[in-house]
């Protein structure tokens, strides 16, 4: 089995020695000054993985577990969530802040991302309904004043494009923001929900079918099919339970500052390093 160590500065040799106390390391491959891959003689169970992740956290290092089917030479698709993954905010919460309803909306958002609300579509409709009457100009204000790219996002997209990887942004958020990010980052493809706007005012409704977890997975699979490859050729990145379906069966699944329910299911959980760190595996 292979495990990857991602650090913000340089690989922590002390951490490797600590891992070696309980696991037989066959060899170490240094992928960069910040990333090492350890080749083990064993397959780790969930308890062992959680222990190593905890150990990594003590050293400000993210430890990931590379699945046996991961083939760096065959990665063709990078599928990403937007809110709290590629960018620093949940856009709907910030729009709600314009009308003093952020707390009410964010409570639903957090519950949905933790998986406590099983029907994402219903949770989104409830939240969007609270935006009725908000001027559309609030969207521009959120983009210009509050939205920022998360650590390593720019480098992630540039690095993926340099490798010929198709970049796909699949969001349960809104097209207003995904389209702007598409233009800014030269993303190849984006999918999200469209807010209904009449006379410059949000109606509190969404136009068309909602992009939920199943839709995200379908977009990833369709993208892979269009490129003549399988989902094993995709790397997926997200933070909430709504991302789990698109992550299932991917070549590599990554949680970025993810909810606990997501962390326990992904191959790699980034709590310390930036979004671009996994590119060292290519």
Positions marked catalytic: 81, 83
Strand segments (E) across the chain: 2-7, 25-30, 35-40, 61-66, 77-80, 166-174, 189-198, 201-207, 234-238, 252-256, 268-270
CA 33 to chain centre: 24
Structure tokens at 165: 């990887």
Q: Which helix (H) or strand (E) holds 159?
A: helix 153-162
What are the contacts of 22-31 at 24+ separation with CB within 8 A? 23/48, 31/4, 31/280, 31/281
Residue bearing tokens 């006379």: 199
Residues 6+ apart with CB under 8 A from 189: 166, 167, 168, 169, 223
* Alpha carbon distance 175, 143 (integer Å): 12
CA distances, 215 to each of 78, 101, 135, 218 (Å): 16, 28, 28, 5
SS3 21: coil
DSSP for residue 45: -
Contact (Cβ atoms closer than 8 angstroms) between residue 179 and residue 190: yes
State how far the Cα of 276 lies from the Cα of 274, in Å rounded to an integer.
5
């Amino acid at each position: 089995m292979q495990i990857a160590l991602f650090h913000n500065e340089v690989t922590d040799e002390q951490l490797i020695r600590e891992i070696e106390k309980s696991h037989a390391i066959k060899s170490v491959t240094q992928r960069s000054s910040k990333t090492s891959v350890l080749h083990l003689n064993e397959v780790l169970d969930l308890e062992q993985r959680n222990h190593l992740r905890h150990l990594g956290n003590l050293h400000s290092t993210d430890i990931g577990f590379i699945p046996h089917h991961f083939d760096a030479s065959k990665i063709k698709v990078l599928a990403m969530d937007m809110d709290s993954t590629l960018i620093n905010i949940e856009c709907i919460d910030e729009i709600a802040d314009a009308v003093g309803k952020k707390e009410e909306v964010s409570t639903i958002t957090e519950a949905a991302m933790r998986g406590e609300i099983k029907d994402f579509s219903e949770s989104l409709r409830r939240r969007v309904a609270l935006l009725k009457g908000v001027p559309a100009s609030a969207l521009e204000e959120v983009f210009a004043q509050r939205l920022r790219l998360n650590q390593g996002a720019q480098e992630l997209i540039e690095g993926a494009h340099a490798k010929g990887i198709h970049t796909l942004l699949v969001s349960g958020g809104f097209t207003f923001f995904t389209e702007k990010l598409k233009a800014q980052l030269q993303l190849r493809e984006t999918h999200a929900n469209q807010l209904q706007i009449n006379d410059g005012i949000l109606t509190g409704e969404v136009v068309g079918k909602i992009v939920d977890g199943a839709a995200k997975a379908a977009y990833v699979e369709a993208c892979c099919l269009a490129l003549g490859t399988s989902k094993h050729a995709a790397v997926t990145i997200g933070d909430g339970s709504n991302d789990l379906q698109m992550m299932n069966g991917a070549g590599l699944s990554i949680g970025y500052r993810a909810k606990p329910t997501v962390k326990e299911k992904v191959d790699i959980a980034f709590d310390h390093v930036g979004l671009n760190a996994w590119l060292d595996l290519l």
